[in-house]
Amino acid sequence: QVELVESGGGSVEAGGSLRLSCAASAITYDSPYMAWFRQAPGKEREGVAVIYYSSGGNKYYPDSVKGRFTISLDDAKRTVYLQMNRLIPEDTAMYYCAAGSIVSTAHLFIPDHYNYWGQGTQVTVSS
């Protein structure tokens, strides 16, 4: 069992930055990929960043956040970060950390392929 605890959400004006953190209790054989998803009211959960949990692990982003969001990890702390820059009101959502085992890059941003989820942290961007 893996527990994920997010922190770092808050309110910011458009153009600002936030850094989210996700502390994992363990990294197991079924959770080597760690990801950030977001869900706005009335919308489906959307993947915004994925990293393979190893030194120099590959990183993946959808076009909607590429160039603005950066995922990184601190192996010693078992913590994954999401640095969000140039935030826009459309980034407003509950942000969730997730961990799972992905067998195909086609599955990277699909929530059903992740086994473990955090409780979420709210990000609000005002115009």
**pLDDT range class, residue 55, cuts 50, 70, 90:** low
Q: In the predicted model, what is the mean pLDDT of residues 68-77?
A: 93
Rounded CA gap, 84 and 120, in Å? 16
Per-chain mean pLDDT for the chain: 94
Can you tell me the distance from the alpha carbon of 77 to that of 107, in angstroms, rounded to the nearest whole number? 27
Using a pLDDT cut of 90, give the percent of the chain over it: 82
Q: Is 96 exposed, middle or buried (0-12, 13-18, 19+ CB in 10 A)?
A: buried
Lowest mean pLDDT, pick from 54-58, 79-83, 86-90, 105-109: 54-58
DSSP H helical ranges for 28-119 = none
- Please compute the mean of the pLDDT values over residues 47-59 and round it to a whole number: 87
pLDDT at 45: 97
Are the beta carbons of 71 and 20 closer than 8 angstroms?
no
pLDDT at residue 90, as a whole number: 96
User: Is residue 87 over pLDDT 80?
Assistant: yes
Greatest distance between any 2 Cα atoms in the chain:
42
